[in-house]
Structure 1
Amino acid sequence: AYTALAPPGAPPARTRHGDHLALYWADLLLGLAADLVEQAPASPEVRCRLSATVGHVLTRTHRGQLTELHLQHTHPAQIPVADLLAMYADKAADYCYQLPFTLGAILGGLDPDRLGATRTVLETVGVASQIIDDIAGGCPQVLEQGKDSIGEITQLRRTVLLCDLARRLPAGDPLQPILAGQATTPEQTAAIREAFLTFGAVTAAATRAAALADQAAAAIDRLGLAAPATAYLHDLVDVRVRHSLGVLTAGDAVGSG
């Protein structure tokens, strides 16, 4: 809707008026959840826990977004994978996966220890899902999910996929100095997308996601949740991660470099 209201112009202008405004609006709506907490038909103690949960996710989300901006000043080959995964956990996993379950679990009376263990599983699923999104947006022809994050490549966002590529490029490859920069031309963007496959960056990223999915799936049955919640969590792993990994394998489209 915001993009439709944007003035005519180049894609960057439409992004500023469309995608960026939509994201800021979504962040505002999440903050307004605090108003709903005040109206919740629950005890003051429960409302306090709900309010603290909303505040916690807002803190983590903004920390993750700031970390992402900070990483732009580091060559992608020099960014530790652990730092990228921690950033994904902050900016995406809590917001999209942990928060909804946590609010429901608090209202449903789930004991804090079991909730903490479940949040750990959901964070793992969320990080794996973010890696899948990297692949889907970076190589849309591979997963065909209708997602094309070309802006992330043209702005050289430090994703797991980009950093894996930077580490796998041979010394002297013409893409090395390009990846160290802050923006690409259309021709360079196309070359980077091809390199994701040629040098096995998609395979490396998918392998990380698969390991995280296996870790989460192995922990779900140990949580001791009721059957519907257990089935929901397994379904989350399958739909958000394993299905996409199956498409990658079936398509035989990833490089093996």
Structure 2
Amino acid sequence: MTGVTDADLPARVDDALASFLGDRRTQLEPLGPRVEPLLDAAAVAVAGGKRLRPAFCVAGWRVGGGAGVPDDVVRAASSLEWLQASALVHDDVIDDSATRRGRPAAHAAFTDAHRSSGSRGDAELFGVGAAVLLGDLMLSWADEMFRTSGFSPDELARATGFLDACKNEVVAGQFLDLAVQAGGGASLEDAMRVVRYKAAKYTVERPLHLGAALAGAGPRTIDALSAYAVPLGEAFQLRDDVLGVFGDPAVTGKPAGDDLREGKRTALVAHTASAARPAQRERLEAGLGNPALGPTDVADLRALMIDVGALARVEADITALEEQARDALDDDALRPHADLLADLAGRAVRRNA
């Protein structure tokens, strides 16, 4: 397509996803109406969001020398939204989160539908099972939409390894997050490793790599993109960690303090534990992972994080990481697209949801 702007990209992503889902509905129609709730849930799971991963993928295409933003690039970039939706659906099952983007999480919605229809069996088991299958289906769709985006086999071959790495890293990073929570403690090194592999690479670095590789970029450009992407991705996730404790539920779509109830061992928690006195550390550990944590308890832990300087420390880390990413834009491979990449950096870090 010609005559399009960056502002057009979210709508083009929406259209590409809707077209793909429409084709899948036709393909699965022989299974009958009982499968329709699964496809409806996929539509809900992929609706909305910041569309940052497609935006980074398109930016990588441009940095790599791609001309314009043709439809095949948009379709390839949009495939990352199925990967993101899959990860979020599974993440909500793992964390037993009741809401996502202000709506019932997929497993909760399936559970409610089972109960309201008077179906047989355990409603919660049905909800979890249906959500796992939904996540699996959308992960498969990420591959399918990428493969059928319109690029030649040789062009796809240049980029497939980055998509594979993206999937491997986010799943292994999710397991690392579980293992760190199960092990207790609050090591900053562990927290930042989870940040890098669960979120930073698959949110910023790999989408950039994917787009650049589709455009035919070489190792020099790929390395330059990493120097920008890794610190920016880490800043992005640290912002998420702050919003998980201090965010406004009306904006984030998640209950206040959910990360505390789930026992997330974030960098914010690590800094709090490191700076806290013994009695304060006991308060922190007593609250982390307690599903019954109420508003007053959440407010108490927020105050603790502020009092010991942990929130200020994480905000300083976010600023330093964003500056590191912006400094990387002086590289010859990135300088022609510095304005675009700087704008994306601001969107990723300076946000309230």
Q: Shorter-chain TM-score: what band? A: 0.7 to 0.9
CA distance in structure 1 between the partners assigned to 2:274 and 2:180 by the alignment: 16
Q: Which moved more, 1:122-131 or 1:218-227?
A: 218-227
Structure 2: stretches of 5+ with no match in the other structure: 1-43, 45-105, 116-122
- Listed one character per residue, the Cα deviations across residues 80-129 of structure 1 (whole Å, up to 9, x for unaligned) are x2332221121112222123222221121222221122023112111101
Instruction: Look at both structures and tell me which one has the larger radius of gyration over its CA atoms.
Output: 2
Residue 39 of structure 1 and its aligned partner are, at CA, apart by: 2.9
Q: Say which of 320, 339, 342 aligns to 1:234.
A: 342
Map of 1:137 onto structure 2? 244
- Residue 223 of structure 1: CA displacement? 4.3
With 45-54 and 63-72 compared, the bigger mean Cα shift is at: 45-54
Pairwise CA RMSD? 3.2
TM-score (norm 2): 0.57
Pair 1:194-2:303 in alignment:
yes
Cα deviation digits, residues 139-162 of structure 1 (max 9, x gap): 125x98535452211121111111
Give yes or no for the alignment of 1:99 onto 2:234. no
Q: Tell me, yes or no, if the aligned pair for 1:114 and 1:223 is still in contact at 8 Å.
A: no
What's the offset of the Cα at 1:27? 6.7
Which SS does the other structure have where 1:208 is aligned? helix
Q: Distance in 1 between matches of 2:304 and 2:145?
A: 47
Matched, 1:32 2:32: no
Deviation at 1:36, TM superposition (A): 3.2
4+ residue stretches of structure 1 with deviation over 4 A?
23-28
The equivalent residue for 1:7 is 112
Paired residue total: 233
Offset at residue 63 of structure 1 (A) = 1.0
Q: 1:158 to 1:113 in 2, by over 3 A?
A: same
Q: Deviations over 1:9-55 (max 9, x none)?
A: 9xxx99x959x94x984675344332234335444333223222211
What SS does the corresponding residue of 2:208 show, helix, strand or coil?
A: helix
Q: Which residue in 2 is equivalent to 1:113? A: 220
SS of the counterpart of 2:258? helix
Q: Aligned pair 1:59/2:168, yes or no?
A: yes
Provide the rounded CA distance (Å) in 1 between the counterparts of 2:332 and 2:290. 45
User: Measured at CA, do residues 45 and 235 of structure 1 come closer, stay the same or move farther in structure 2, by a change above 3 Å?
Assistant: same
2:155 to 10, 21, 46: 46
**Partner amino acid for 1:146?**
T
Q: Residue 73 of structure 1 aligns with which residue?
A: 182
Partner of residue 175 from structure 1, selected from 267, 274, 283: 283
Are 2:230 and 1:88 equivalent residues in the alignment? no
* Paired residues of 1:6 and 1:17 also in contact (CA < 8 A): yes
Matches for 1:236-251 after TM superposition, within 5 Å:
236-241=344-349, 243=350
Does the 8 Å CA contact 1:31/1:54 hold for their aligned counterparts? Answer: no
Secondary structure at the residue paired with 1:172?
helix
Contact 2:224/2:334, CA 8 A, preserved across alignment: no
Which deviates more, 85-94 or 56-65?
85-94
Q: Which 10-residue stretch deviates more, 212-221 or 186-195?
A: 186-195
Deviations 1:201-250 (A, max 9, x none): 110111111111111111112142363x3212111222322x35xx9xxx
Measured in 1, the distance between the counterparts of 2:145 and 2:226 equals: 22
- Please list the CA deviations of residues 163-209 of structure 1 after superposition, one character each: whole Å capped at 9, or x if unmatched: 11111111233414415x63253243332122122222110111111
Shift of 1:138: 0.7
